[in-house]
Amino acid sequence: MKRSIQKYFHYFDVSELERMRALYGDGELGERPVLASVYSAIRHRRLPERYPEAVGYGTNFCEAYHKAIVQSMGCALLAQSWLRPLAAYIGQRPCLEIMAGTGALAWALGQYGCRVLPTDNFSLRDTFGRRWVKVRRMDALRAVKKYGKKVDFVLLSWPFIGPLPQQILAWLRQHNPSCRLIYLGEWRGGCNVDDAFCDFAQEDPEAAALVAQLRKHYQNWYALHDSIYILK
Ligand SMILES: C[S@@+](CC[C@H](N)C(=O)[O-])C[C@H]1O[C@@H](n2cnc3c(N)ncnc32)[C@H](O)[C@@H]1O
């Protein structure tokens, strides 16, 4: 993992937000209240249609709320604007989620009626403050070997960089070639997948129009370049 990302995976003490408020008021760009209201909505499982521009500011408050929101929801900025068309595409077809973290993505798609089984080996258990759904404890490759032939989609959001994403895609290609990997994260040179994965993965041309639509809505935190991919 890139050094710059590591700080988001250490347990963040949310009382820090109150201390910062006492010190810095509403922030350099007046961003604190807007970020606080997004955080509060997420705490109550209300995912926004889209996020305010302030998520892209490089301020202290932006960094602090980034940590708090990762802890509470996860790494990707889950927004209804792209979850809705993604859920419509998935429909009732079964999905497995690996490295699911809090399970917020599985929960959000579940709100649209999608059937997602979230799994994770809980190796980051000190980072995520809560789970949104019951997440089955399971190693990612083991989960794919166990359920991968029975699902139409495998969801993978913000994996750790390493050989696993490519092993998973290779297994799917061999054992269930019609299954698609829905990947959320950074691409080549980023903090989630290595070059070997980027060379190996192929975008599904049949999903190109949908992916273009999803990417129009997908947003990033400051200095991050994650996006959404439908891969085979
Ligand atoms: C960076 S977090 C991303 C979590 C979530 N998908 C998100 O987008 O917020 C990576 C997750 O992968 C899990 N993990 C790491 N290695 C794993 C493995 N070999 N099998 C299953 N889960 C794993 C960690 O426990 C952690 O929850």
How confident is the model over 146-174, as pLDDT tens digits? Answer: 999 999 999 999 999 999 999 999 999 99
What is the 179 CA–ligand 1 centroid distance (Å)?
21
* Domains within the chain, CATH numbers bracketed: 3-72 (no CATH), 80-231 (3.40.50)
Give ligand 1 pocket residues (Cβ under 6 A): 74-76, 98-101, 120-124, 139-140, 157-158, 160, 164
On whether the CB atoms of residues 172 and 13 are closer than 8 A, the answer is no
Bridge partners (DSSP) of residue 96 are 117, 154
What spacing in Å lies between the alpha carbon of 81 and ligand 1's midpoint? 24
pLDDT in the model for residue 7: 66
- The per-residue pLDDT for range 58-101, each reduced to its tens digit, is 999 999 999 999 999 999 999 999 999 999 999 999 999 999 99
- Residues 6 or more apart whose Cβ sits within 8 Å of residue 3: none
Spatial contact of 129 and 72, defined as CB atoms under 8 Å apart: yes
Mean pLDDT of 8-23: 82
Yes or no: say if 114 and 87 are a contact pair by the CB < 8 Å rule: yes
Query: 159: how many CB neighbours lie within 10 A of its CB?
Result: 21
Distance 60 CA to ligand 1 centre (A): 26
Cβ contact 118:100 at 8 Å: yes
